[in-house]
Structure 1
């Protein structure tokens, strides 16, 4: 049987690439540069399937120029805000993602960011690393205690629940906002709020775990930062679109927000250079799922979806 032709747009894990080469006629972008609109349009005529990352943008304008050969886009990501789903559906192209497998890795990173932001990790590292640590006092680098604090989670999906589970190890009181209230076995005694505003009022720490949609653009804006308890800490490991970065800096300047931990930004790659002047922002370059275990699992999940599709089945992660 002739193998289906597959384009893998980025340098995925070695285990993923080995399996793909075994089962498909595969072209791999070993240069590991983002696929352009022209690349995607050309690929639609040459390949039966694409495994893209969040760096490839399937806009309506791009999808409108696709040929009829491309049958499936099996994303190597959970988020699909880089894909215009109605446009792809209109071309009868199946779209899948990779849920479940990156929840723990992303939740671990959210915990790192929360702790680092709360305990002055950036400033402390700089002071020691530059040889500036030459004194101590009881008032030196006093941070915000996590244990026993109230944690607000926006978006109680797989990652949000994984983060809540880890936060319970710090005896945090879990509050959450979600599109719907969770059943008790998933909520695990977390307190439900039917509005973001209600949640913010009790969130000593706030962690964002919702998708980027038109409704969540600038979810955290001037008005909502003002609703937080004074001295709150905010963490974002979801999408940069959720936070108005100018509003965040204003909240940090006023002391309304004590610190922030960010793994994602409005502009990626690169981030916002204006944020760099803040020692109370702990920043990482969008690496929430970047563990070897998770990268292998994401790649295999994408390939599982392809295998199911080309076997005539509906992939379990079809969107």
Structure 2
């Protein structure tokens, strides 16, 4: 069966894929363009896409009888794929849950600590050659241990963040989730409103992307944060109204933010880049070799199951 891999993947994944399929592997690290999206459905039996490969309803409409049987997404988030349109066209969609949990939770803590302790700002100061040495009031940040944390979304990643923050940093954890969450042993309290979860020293966003969560964190949600509050986003960029966030940061409505994702990625507004109270990372959430390899092998498990006519391990559509 012909498999298209849309972006370079770790060597172990590529070797395993070539051992099982006739592989076409793009060397381009940018997302598929409009023509490539349609050719992917038309010319291949299976496709391994990832973030930014926008298989929209229009793409499926333009290829009404696709050859492709499965889009085995490399990543847990699949809001770049119209799963409803895929299902209607007879194309299954899978993702890679579980493999990304710990790496993404670790990255949330990285951003939280960097922003609280002004690590990005300090690193830039040292590199600039303008650091004049230690003094008692230099770059005073915010203490993390024992503070209150609000988590928006208590799925696998939210729970992993809560565990790290409570047991590692003695934080009081509150969370907002659309449905009740039962997790014995996790000392976290579910609150009934988004505003209650936002009203904490630190807030981490860990909800899935998609139409239901787009701009969930808007001006009203940001207004519920205390002025010393720090917002962390490791979910999807468009969960946050970026313009509202910039305004809140510029006016001192909130103290800072740590971002790994952006609303119009990879574009990051100049107004955001100009702010010293923001830590900006280039979507590093799962950027560890072991994790990316595990993600690729999980996607490959779905592809092999499809080829062999077995139930898909991780179906989303």
User: Counterpart in 1 of 2:142?
Assistant: 144
Deviates more, 1:299-308 or 1:266-275: 266-275
User: Counterpart in 2 of 1:184?
Assistant: 183
User: Counterpart in 2 of 1:172?
Assistant: 171
C-alpha distance in 1 between matches for 2:238 and 2:159: 21
Q: How many residues align?
A: 314
Among 105, 118, 125, which residue is 2:116 paired with?
A: 118
User: Counterpart in 2 of 1:94?
Assistant: 92
Where do residues 130-279 of structure 1 align in structure 2 (5 Å cutoff)? 130-168=128-166, 169-185=168-184, 188-201=186-199, 203-279=200-276
Q: Given the superposition, is the C-alpha separation of residues 44 and 135 from structure 1 closer, same or farther in structure 2, using an over 3 Å criterion? A: closer
TM-superposed deviation, 1:182: 1.3
Check the 8 A contact 1:155/1:208 in 2, yes or no. yes
Check the 8 A contact 1:265/1:272 in 2, yes or no. no
- TM-score, normalised via structure 2 length: 0.96
Cα-Cα RMSD: 1.3
TM-superposed deviation, 1:95: 0.3
Check the 8 A contact 1:266/1:272 in 2, yes or no. no
Check the 8 A contact 1:34/1:56 in 2, yes or no. yes
Deviates more, 1:128-137 or 1:189-198: 128-137
Unaligned runs of 5+ in 1: none
Among 286, 292, 313, which residue is 2:283 paired with?
A: 286
Q: Helix, strand or coil: the match of 1:278?
A: coil
TM-superposed deviation, 1:214: 2.0
Q: Does 1:21 align with 2:18?
A: yes
Q: Helix, strand or coil: the match of 1:64?
A: helix
Among 301, 311, 315, which residue is 1:314 paired with?
A: 311
C-alpha distance in 2 between matches for 1:184 and 1:250: 36
- TM-score, normalised via structure 1 length: 0.95
C-alpha distance in 2 between matches for 1:289 and 1:135: 35
Unaligned runs of 5+ in 2: none
